């Protein structure tokens, strides 16, 4: 039962074990790090397998299909079959591809996702307790961008490069509102440490900062690159985009990376805005907190899937206009208002603060609504790319003959 | 308060001068407004100060004059101090100076035909020739405005500055400064119409002649300074200094220092006040505009000479008192008396209305000098003031007459001299105001008994001369007085009485108010001022009127000059002066009333014969000077200095030097400059070019090369630092 | 012990990556070398116990600068084009200079006695990040440099946009 | 604990490599890479000194922050220029860009 009270005794036990083997303390702690890393990496990767099945099912239902139902009960074993198939598939590398980078890209993309986990508090005293965790999240987020860029370029394929460029444009653009939205919880919790943020959420921050939560959610979807923002692999435009040339295990890695990233987004949302592991009894039994976290994350993930099933894909220029002309300014406004109001209400109790901020957010939202109406009116007739001017052209790389220079 | 105003008195005309010259010279009205405004200000200030002086009272004022001093010129030890001062004498002089100057300024406006049209063919530097105007149908000529109107007012303003400065100064140096400024203005104004050769010559003559006097005056000042160490009246005119000066022998003439200084300064006066033998410039000075003649050459500047003499009277007196040395006094008395008679005789034979007045001025100044010479400085001051008034009046009157005549000349188109008295006659009906005022002035000049100011002052001098026993002086002056009355009456008769002798005279008419107004004001003074100085022993009147003037001026040197005993009043000088005045007038009228035609000879010619010619030609003094001084001077300049010294000696030397230096220059150029300096320069230039050609490679235009060089240098520097610093 | 090991490892990786970054003709690989070097720097920061700056290093350098560099390389490279030689004619001089500089630096820092007693023992306070934040906005601290830096960034932003677009316009003119 | 001089030497080597990169590379972006290396060397120096000489103060950290800002600005402008030059000359080879040649 002690384990339920405090799972960290496991760590102590392991340490004693290593020391018993006669290792120096520092070496022992090093080994402990390695073990912890392995555990942290394995869990999510296994979880992904279920996520794949779940998503296919869910989307199938939304689209009025059955989805996988052959392999195992309810097709539960379908993902394993896919994995086997992918592993046994021939691994093709384009002749003119840049070998090293071609190899590096998938690893990076998966690593970029996995690196997010160490910062996440899984329960009371479990999981990451990083001083500058939020910043860390942002930092690691850039890795996946890299991965996609490299992948798209190294494949030596025009469509892949196009996808890569789109991705870079999109991701770098959406970094901005994400960071701004992240700052709101940091502000409310007076800390960048996710543990502290969670601890500060006597009232979930989603109450105090609904708009920030919304912005974070939307931008994260874009960051992950899922529908409606899946421009980087828009099959109908650039066939699968950056991983067009990838196959077999490498493709699987990208694939898993994407799914896991989506779920991780859910986890982060839960941690930042929905009280993380907090819940009845989570103090006493940290594993319970782990369960609560998982629950919340899973609900958020379901919403993401839901959105994927329901929304059409937006056009690239709309995508960028959306972030630069709507999300970013809104996020800035929210940030300022929150900062000022939070300072003003510092004396008040947590609920009063939360409610005040809620009202403020509501007001902001009303204003935004009015403004959006005006924009809508001005934008009639609905935006269609006129023949002759393709806004996309703004983001295409220069034509090859421009590069004839050298 | 008073001292502040004293400081300001000379200033406003100076400011006016500057303003006119710099800004207002294009606008005639503005120019004369400025000038008159400035002198009116000074006038007001002077009146105020004078009134304050009256309140203070003569004795007290003489004890401690209004006085204020500032540091001016740094000299060896300490400063030369510049100051203003007002004692009774200065106060009285200030009084008449202020009045006459204002009057003459106003008069000038009319005299220069302000408001008249521009002349047809007037040009700067010549008197206006008149303008043709279209007047209801037929055109006729009228006087035209002076082309250099503004310039005139600028000059006279500057002159006013000089005069005020002279009057208020408390030392001889600033007095001398004002003196010289006036000299300059006199030169400028005599030569005002500089395109007339006669005016040019007259200007130069006046300037040169007065220079002679001024040089001596400067010598005197210098000598005085070496003796006393200061030029302030307060330092000079105190008994011990005077005693020291009077007992200290001078190198020349067996005179005392005081005597020599007095004499030198007096020579300055001789120059300024046109005393014999330096009188020659004054008559010619009449070439200038009449207001100038009136102000500078009758009322103020020439009076300044006499003022100086009175100013230094204590010195003279002290010198005269020390019997051990030859006294300057007799010399002064002689020159004064002689000039008086001498000039009067010349005046008798002059036909130019202004020249007559000029000679009469000389003679009257002679009176004053003589008075000082015999020690009657109070009488001299008295006559100075009265003379200033009535002589200014007379000059302005003559100017008015000439003006009227010119009008007539322009009207009729006759070509006659408008200043010749023979061309006039019967003007009393044409220009009554001028006539009456001129009459008053003339009677005052000739000393018409009791009513006029001239009578009192002249009688004062005569009686003093008689009383002090200078019989020679007395009789000389008496004769001069007779002649004065004579030529004055001659002038009046020829000008105003009888009937017109020319068309011009017939058509002359009265001058505008700007000219007649001052005449009237001055006429009042010419009559009234005399009553301030009625001697107390004079029968009847003496008891009615206090001898205010004598007390006032007498207080100035009270206790400084040796007092001569109380004069016993005698009827003899009185009767003499009555006789000469009235007799002169009568004879003059009798002789000249019969003149009918312009071209008929002077009645005296028959009587005097050759002497008349002598008189007419002023004893040939000009010719004499021409042969004695001018020609030798020309010779000296042209032959000796120019041909011998300059041409022969100096030029040849210079040519030799020039030739040598030319050769030297050639040598330097060909032997040193071209081969060495230029060669060096070219070598440097070529070297630079070559270096540039070599170093040009560095300018590869490639960023990296530049950075490479930079870093190489950095590395070298670092190596040095390491070697010298870090390793130790 | 462990830290020493980690340090040596990181340093070695960094230097090798840096050499790759400056020597390799394939610029993309060079850029990757740069990225690795930057990560190594971040690790060094961690070893120096300035976690905030370590993360900031990753965000700024890897997340922004490196990506931009790679991006522009790819923009100006035709896919699969031959790279050609990437070193210019003066490379021996460059090598010499760099070598001399390095040697001099090394000689100088060798002066630091490894066993010298340094204030390092004092250790980094827990709230150093908070302190840094406070110092950055403290009027008595470094608010002025901070603001100046931000202004510089803004200017750079505007300038970059202007230059890039101006270039595009110029291109249009040259073509049209 | 690792001696300070080690950090300094590593930084020096990094700097040297960066210098070589800046001087010897043809491509403008490659030069920028070299510059970044030099920046990093400086950063390492700064932080090492901070850690070893004044660990409780913030001067070193602020210095580092400012260096970050400068580096970011430098790269932004540098790349913009690079793009512009590339469009203008159709080449990214600085050897071709010598308009300032004599």
Q: Is C104 on the interface with B (CB under 8 A)?
A: yes
Name which residue leads in pLDDT, A355 or B613. Answer: A355
Nearest CA in chain A to C30: A101
Widest CA span of chain A, in angstroms? 76
Tell me: pLDDT of B358 over 60. Answer: yes
The verdict on a CB contact (< 8 Å) between C120 and D55 is yes
pLDDT of residue A405: 43
pLDDT of residue A6: 73
For the CA atoms of A247, A250, A254, A260, the dihedral, rounded to the nearest 10 degrees, stands at: 130
Whole-number Cα distances in Å, B700 to B91, B690, D93, D94:
91, 17, 15, 12
User: Which DSSP category does C110 fall into?
Assistant: T
Tell me: pLDDT of A254 over 70. Answer: yes
Residue with tokens 């008189």: B615
* List of chain D residues whose C-beta atoms are within 8 Å of the C-beta of residue A404: 90
Q: Are B591 and B490 in contact (CB under 8 A)?
A: yes
| Mean pLDDT for the stretch of residues D64-70 | 90
The verdict on a CB contact (< 8 Å) between D93 and A404 is no
Tell me: pLDDT of B121 over 60. Answer: yes
Residue B155's nearest CA partner among B24, B270, B14 is: B14
* List of chain D residues whose C-beta atoms are within 8 Å of the C-beta of residue A405: 86, 89-92
Does the N-terminal peptide bond of residue A228 adopt cis geometry, omega within 30 degrees of 0? Answer: yes
Domain residues of chain A, as ranges?
1-78, 89-378
pLDDT of residue A235: 66
Size of interface B-C (CB pairs under 8 A): 28
Count Cβ atoms within 10 A of the Cβ of residue A399 and give its class: 0-12 exposed, 13-18 middle, 19 or more buried: exposed
Tell me if D15 is assigned to some domain.
yes
Tell me if B639 is assigned to some domain.
no
| Residue B37 to residue B16: CA distance in whole angstroms | 8
Which H or E run contains B80?
Answer: strand B79-86
Q: Are B603 and B591 in contact (CB under 8 A)?
A: yes
Q: Are D17 and C22 in contact (CB under 8 A)?
A: yes
| Residue A57 to residue A53: CA distance in whole angstroms | 6
Tell me: pLDDT of B223 over 70. Answer: yes
**Domain of residue D68, residue span:** 4-96
Quote the ipTM score: 0.69
pLDDT of residue B486: 87
Tell me: pLDDT of A388 over 70. Answer: no
Nearest by CB: A149 against C55, C70, C81: C70
pLDDT of residue B684: 92
Helix, strand or coil, per DSSP, at residue B326: strand
CA distance B721 to chain C (A): 10
Chain C interface mutation, best of D79, D90, D93, D99, highest count of C Cβ atoms under 10 Å: D79
Whole-number Cα distances in Å, A105 to A89, A159, C55:
19, 16, 22
| Mean pLDDT for the stretch of residues B455-465 | 84
**Span B384-406, pLDDT tens digits:** 888 888 888 888 888 888 888 88
Chain D interface mutation, best of A165, A402, A403, A406, highest count of D Cβ atoms under 10 Å: A406
- Band (pLDDT 50/70/90 cuts) for residue A124 is confident
Name which residue leads in pLDDT, A85 or B77. Answer: A85
CA distance D95 to chain B (A): 7
Nearest CA in chain D to A404: D90
Whole-number Cα distances in Å, A349 to A183, A344, B547:
21, 12, 113
Q: Are A241 and A159 in contact (CB under 8 A)?
A: yes
Strands A126-127 and B66-74: unpaired
The verdict on a CB contact (< 8 Å) between D23 and B696 is no
Q: Are B534 and B452 in contact (CB under 8 A)?
A: no
pLDDT of residue A395: 53
Residue B560's nearest CA partner among B326, B258, B164, B287 is: B258
The verdict on a CB contact (< 8 Å) between B711 and C101 is yes
| Mean pLDDT for the stretch of residues B12-27 | 87
The verdict on a CB contact (< 8 Å) between B700 and D22 is no
pLDDT of residue C176: 41
- Band (pLDDT 50/70/90 cuts) for residue A396 is low
Tell me: pLDDT of B48 over 80. Answer: yes
Mark whether A and B touch (3+ CB pairs within 8 Å): no
The parts of chain C modelled with pLDDT lower than 70 are: 1, 78-81, 111-122, 166-176
pLDDT of residue A403: 45
The verdict on a CB contact (< 8 Å) between D94 and B702 is yes
The verdict on a CB contact (< 8 Å) between C2 and A27 is yes
- pTM score: 0.52
Nearest by CB: C104 against B704, B712, B718: B718
* List of chain B residues whose C-beta atoms are within 8 Å of the C-beta of residue D101: 699-702
The verdict on a CB contact (< 8 Å) between C109 and D65 is no
Nearest by CB: D89 against A398, A403, A405: A405
| Mean pLDDT for the stretch of residues B224-242 | 83
Helix, strand or coil, per DSSP, at residue B66: strand
Range picked from A334-338, B280-284, B515-519 for highest mean pLDDT: A334-338
User: Could you tell me what percent of chain A has a pLDDT over 70?
Assistant: 90
- Residues 380-399 on A with a CB inside 8 Å of D are 398
- Write out the DSSP string of A60-100: HHHTT---S-SSSGGGTTHHHHHHHHHHHS-----TTS-HH
Helix, strand or coil, per DSSP, at residue B547: coil
pLDDT of residue D2: 79
**Domain of residue B597, residue span:** 2-116+148-616
* List of chain B residues whose C-beta atoms are within 8 Å of the C-beta of residue C100: 715, 719
Nearest CA in chain A to D96: A406
Q: What total of structural domains would you count in chain D?
A: 1
User: Which DSSP category does B73 fall into?
Assistant: E
CA distance C143 to chain A (A): 20
Tell me if D78 is assigned to some domain.
yes
Nearest by CB: C51 against A131, A142, A165: A131
Which structure tokens are listed for B480? 């001069």
- Band (pLDDT 50/70/90 cuts) for residue A381 is low
Tell me if B666 is assigned to some domain.
no
Tell me: pLDDT of A404 over 70. Answer: no
**Span A267-308, pLDDT tens digits:** 999 988 888 888 787 777 778 888 888 888 989 999 988 888
Tell me if D82 is assigned to some domain.
yes
How many residues comprise chain C?
Answer: 176
Residue A335's nearest CA partner among A120, A203, A183, A166 is: A183
Residue A232's nearest CA partner among A142, A141, A171, A157 is: A171
**Span B167-198, pLDDT tens digits:** 888 888 888 989 999 999 989 988 888 888 88
**Span A220-240, pLDDT tens digits:** 888 887 878 777 666 666 677
Which structure tokens are listed for B36? 């008159």
Nearest by CB: B715 against C90, C97, C111: C97
Q: Is C109 on the interface with B (CB under 8 A)?
A: no
**Chains in contact with C, counting 3 or more C-beta pairs less than 8 Å apart as contact:** A, B, D
CA distance B74 to chain C (A): 59
Residue D34 belongs to domain with CATH number: 1.10.287.3510
Nearest CA in chain C to B713: C97
CA distance D89 to chain B (A): 15
pLDDT of residue B161: 92
| Residue A267 to residue A120: CA distance in whole angstroms | 8
What angle do the packed helices A133-154 and A99-114 form, to 10 degrees? 150
Tell me: pLDDT of B264 over 70. Answer: yes
The verdict on a CB contact (< 8 Å) between B722 and C107 is yes
> 10 Å Cβ neighbour count for A202?
12
- Write out the DSSP string of A239-307: TTGGGSS--HHHHHHHHHHHHHHHHHHHHHHHHHHS-TT-STTTTT-HHHHHHHHHHHHHHHHHHHHHH
* List of chain D residues whose C-beta atoms are within 8 Å of the C-beta of residue C130: none
The verdict on a CB contact (< 8 Å) between C73 and D77 is no
Q: Is C86 on the interface with B (CB under 8 A)?
A: no
Whole-number Cα distances in Å, B96 to A12, B75, B90, B460, B522:
127, 36, 10, 19, 10
pLDDT of residue D85: 80
Q: What total of structural domains would you count in chain B?
A: 1
pLDDT of residue A237: 67
* List of chain C residues whose C-beta atoms are within 8 Å of the C-beta of residue A137: none
Helix, strand or coil, per DSSP, at residue A380: coil
**Span B409-442, pLDDT tens digits:** 887 877 788 888 888 877 888 888 888 888 888 8
What mean pLDDT, rounded, does chain A reach?
81
Tell me: pLDDT of A370 over 80. Answer: yes
> Considering only B165-169, B333-337, B348-352, D46-50, which range has the smallest mean pLDDT?
B348-352
Q: Are B35 and B20 in contact (CB under 8 A)?
A: yes
Nearest by CB: D23 against B700, B701, B704: B704
């Amino acid at each position: 039962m002690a384990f339920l009270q405090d799972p960290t005794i496991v760590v102590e036990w392991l340490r004693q074990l290593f020391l018993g083997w006669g290792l120096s303390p520092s070496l022992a702690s090093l080994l402990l790090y390695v073990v912890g890393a392995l555990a942290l990496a394995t869990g999510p990767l296994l979880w992904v397998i279920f996520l794949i099945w779940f998503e296919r099912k869910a989307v199938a239902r939304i689209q009025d299909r059955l989805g996988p139902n052959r392999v195992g009960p309810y097709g539960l074993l379908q993902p394993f079959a896919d994995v086997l198939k992918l592993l046994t598939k021939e691994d093709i590398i384009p002749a003119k591809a840049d070998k090293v980078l071609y190899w590096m890209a998938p690893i990076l993309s998966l690593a970029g996702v996995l690196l997010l986990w160490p910062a996440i508090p899984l329960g009371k005293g479990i999981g990451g307790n990083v001083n500058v965790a939020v910043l860390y999240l942002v930092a690691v987020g850039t890795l996946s961008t890299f991965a996609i860029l490299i992948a798209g370029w190294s494949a030596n394929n025009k469509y892949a490069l196009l996808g890569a460029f789109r991705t870079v444009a999109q991701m770098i653009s959406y970094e901005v509102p994400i960071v701004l939205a992240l700052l709101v919880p940091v502000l409310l919790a007076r800390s960048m440490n996710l543990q502290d943020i969670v601890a500060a959420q006597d009232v979930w921050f989603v109450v105090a900062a609904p708009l920030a939560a919304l912005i974070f959610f939307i931008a994260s979807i874009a960051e992950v690159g899922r529908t409606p923002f899946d421009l980087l692999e828009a099959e109908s435009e650039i066939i699968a985009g950056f991983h067009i040339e990838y196959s077999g295990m490498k493709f699987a890695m990208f694939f898993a990376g994407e799914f896991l990233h989506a779920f991780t987004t859910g986890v982060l949302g839960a941690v930042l805005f929905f009280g993380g592991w907090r819940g009845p009894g989570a103090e006493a039994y940290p594993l319970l907190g782990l369960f609560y976290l998982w629950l919340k994350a899973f609900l958020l993930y379901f919403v993401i899937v839901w959105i994927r099933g329901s929304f059409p894909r937006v056009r690239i220029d709309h995508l960028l206009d959306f972030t630069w002309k709507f999300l970013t300014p809104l996020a800035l406004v929210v940030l300022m208002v929150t900062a000022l109001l939070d300072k003003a209400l510092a004396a008040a109790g947590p609920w009063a603060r939360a409610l005040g901020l809620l009202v403020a957010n509501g007001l902001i939202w009303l204003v935004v609504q009015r403004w959006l109406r005006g924009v809508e009116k001005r934008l009639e007739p609905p935006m269609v790319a006129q023949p002759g001017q393709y806004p996309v052209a703004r983001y295409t790389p220069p034509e090859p003959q421009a590069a004839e220079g050298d | 308060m008073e001292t502040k105003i004293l400081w300001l008195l000379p200033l406003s005309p100076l400011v006016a001068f500057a303003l006119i010259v710099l800004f207002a010279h294009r606008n005639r009205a503005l120019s004369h407004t400025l000038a008159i405004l400035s002198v009116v200000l000074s006038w007001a200030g002077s009146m105020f100060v004078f009134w304050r002086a009256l309140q203070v009272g003569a004795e007290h004022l003489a004890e401690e004059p209004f006085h204020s001093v500032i540091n001016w010129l740094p000299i060896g030890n300490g400063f030369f101090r510049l100051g203003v001062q007002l004692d009774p004498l200065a106060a009285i002089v200030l009084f008449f100076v202020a009045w006459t100057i204002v009057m003459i300024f106003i008069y000038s406006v009319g005299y220069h035909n302000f408001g008249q049209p521009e002349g047809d063919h007037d040009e700067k530097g010549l008197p206006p020739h008149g303008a043709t105007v279209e007047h209801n149908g037929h055109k006729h000529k009228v006087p035209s405005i002076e082309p250099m109107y503004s310039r005139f007012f600028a000059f006279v303003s500057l002159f006013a500055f000089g005069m005020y400065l002279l009057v208020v100064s408390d030392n001889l140096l600033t007095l001398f400064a004002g003196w010289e400024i006036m000299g300059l203005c006199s030169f400028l104004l005599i030569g005002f119409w500089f395109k007339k050769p006669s005016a040019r010559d007259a200007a130069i003559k006046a300037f040169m002649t007065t220079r002679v006097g001024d040089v001596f005056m400067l010598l005197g000042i210098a000598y005085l300074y070496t003796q006393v160490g200061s030029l302030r009246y307060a330092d000079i005119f105190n008994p011990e200094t005077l005693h020291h000066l009077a007992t200290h022998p001078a190198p020349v003439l067996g005179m005392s220092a005081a005597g020599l200084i007095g004499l030198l300064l007096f020579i300055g006066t001789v120059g300024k006040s046109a005393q014999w033998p330096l009188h020659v410039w004054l008559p010619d000075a009449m070439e200038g505009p009449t207001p100038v003649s009136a102000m500078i050459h009758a009322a103020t500047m020439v009076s300044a000479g006499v003022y100086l003499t009175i100013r230094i009277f204590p010195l003279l007196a002290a010198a005269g008192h020390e019997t051990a040395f030859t006294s300057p006094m007799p010399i002064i008395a002689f020159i004064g008396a002689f000039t008086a008679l001498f000039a009067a005789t010349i005046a008798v034979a002059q036909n130019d209305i202004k020249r007559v007045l000029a000679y009469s001025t000389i003679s009257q100044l002679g009176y004053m000098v003589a008075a000082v010479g015999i020690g009657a400085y109070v009488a001299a001051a008295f006559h100075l003031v009265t003379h200033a008034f009535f002589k200014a009046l007379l000059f302005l009157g003559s100017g008015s007459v000439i003006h009227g005549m010119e009008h007539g000349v322009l009207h009729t188109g006759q070509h006659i001299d408008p200043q010749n008295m023979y061309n006039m006659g019967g003007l009393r009906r044409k220009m009554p105001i001028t006539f009456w005022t001129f009459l008053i002035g003339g009677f005052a000049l000739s000393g018409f008994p009791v009513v006029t100011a001239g009578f009192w002052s002249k009688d004062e001098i005569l009686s003093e001369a008689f009383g002090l026993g200078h019989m020679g002086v007395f009789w000389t002056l008496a004769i001069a007085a007779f002649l004065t009355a004579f030529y004055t009456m001659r002038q009046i008769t020829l000008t105003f009485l009888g009937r017109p002798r020319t068309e011009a005279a017939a058509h002359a008419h009265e001058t505008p108010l700007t000219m007649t107004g001052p005449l009237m004001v001055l006429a009042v003074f010419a009559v009234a001022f005399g009553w301030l100085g009625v001697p107390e022993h004079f029968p009847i009147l003496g008891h009615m009127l206090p001898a205010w003037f004598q007390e006032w001026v007498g207080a100035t040197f009270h206790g400084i000059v040796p007092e001569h005993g109380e004069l016993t009043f005698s009827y003899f000088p009185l009767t003499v002066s009555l006789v000469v005045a009235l007799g002169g007038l009568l004879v003059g009228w009798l002789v000249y009333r019969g003149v009918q035609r312009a071209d008929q000879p002077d009645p005296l010619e028959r009587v005097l014969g050759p002497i008349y010619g002598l008189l007419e030609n002023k004893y040939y003094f000009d010719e004499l000077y021409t042969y004695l001084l001018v020609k030798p001077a020309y010779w000296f300049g042209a032959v000796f200095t120019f041909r011998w010294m300059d041409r022969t000696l100096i030029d040849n030397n210079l040519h030799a030097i020039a030739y040598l230096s030319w050769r030297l220059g050639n040598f330097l150029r060909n032997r040193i400059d071209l081969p060495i300096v230029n060669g060096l320069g070219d070598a440097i230039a070529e070297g630079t070019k070559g270096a540039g050609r070599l170093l040009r490679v560095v300018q590869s235009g490639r960023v990296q090369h530049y950075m490479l060089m930079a870093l190489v240098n950095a590395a070298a520097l670092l190596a040095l630092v390491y070697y010298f610093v870090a390793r130790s | 012990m462990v830290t020493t090991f980690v340090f040596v490892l990181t340093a070695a990786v960094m230097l090798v990556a840096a050499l790759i970054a400056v020597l390799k003709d394939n610029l993309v690989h060079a850029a990757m070398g740069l990225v690795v070097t930057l990560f190594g720097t971040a690790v060094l920061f961690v070893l120096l116990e300035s976690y905030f700056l370590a993360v900031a290093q990753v965000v700024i350098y890897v997340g922004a600068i490196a990506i931009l560099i790679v991006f522009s390389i790819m923009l100006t490279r035709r896919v699969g084009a031959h790279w050609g030689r990437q070193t210019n004619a003066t490379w021996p001089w460059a090598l010499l200079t760099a070598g001399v500089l390095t040697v001099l630096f090394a000689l100088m820092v060798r002066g630091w006695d490894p066993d010298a007693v340094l204030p390092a023992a004092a250790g980094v306070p827990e709230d150093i990040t908070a302190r840094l934040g406070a110092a950055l906005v403290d009027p008595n601290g470094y608010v002025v440099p901070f603001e100046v830096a931000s202004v510089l960034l803004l200017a750079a932003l505007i300038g970059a946009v202007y230059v890039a677009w101006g270039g595009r316009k110029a291109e249009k003119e040259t073509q049209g | 604990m690792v001696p300070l001089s080690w950090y300094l030497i590593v930084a020096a080597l990094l700097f040297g490599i960066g210098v070589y990169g800046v001087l010897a590379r043809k491509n403008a972006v490659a030069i920028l890479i070299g510059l970044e290396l030099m920046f990093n060397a400086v950063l390492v120096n700064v932080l090492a000194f901070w850690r070893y000489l004044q660990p409780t103060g913030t001067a070193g950290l602020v210095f580092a922050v400012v260096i970050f800002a400068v580096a970011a600005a430098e790269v932004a402008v540098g790349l913009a220029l690079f793009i512009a030059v590339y469009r203008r000359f159709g080449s990214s080879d600085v050897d071709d860009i010598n308009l300032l040649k004599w």
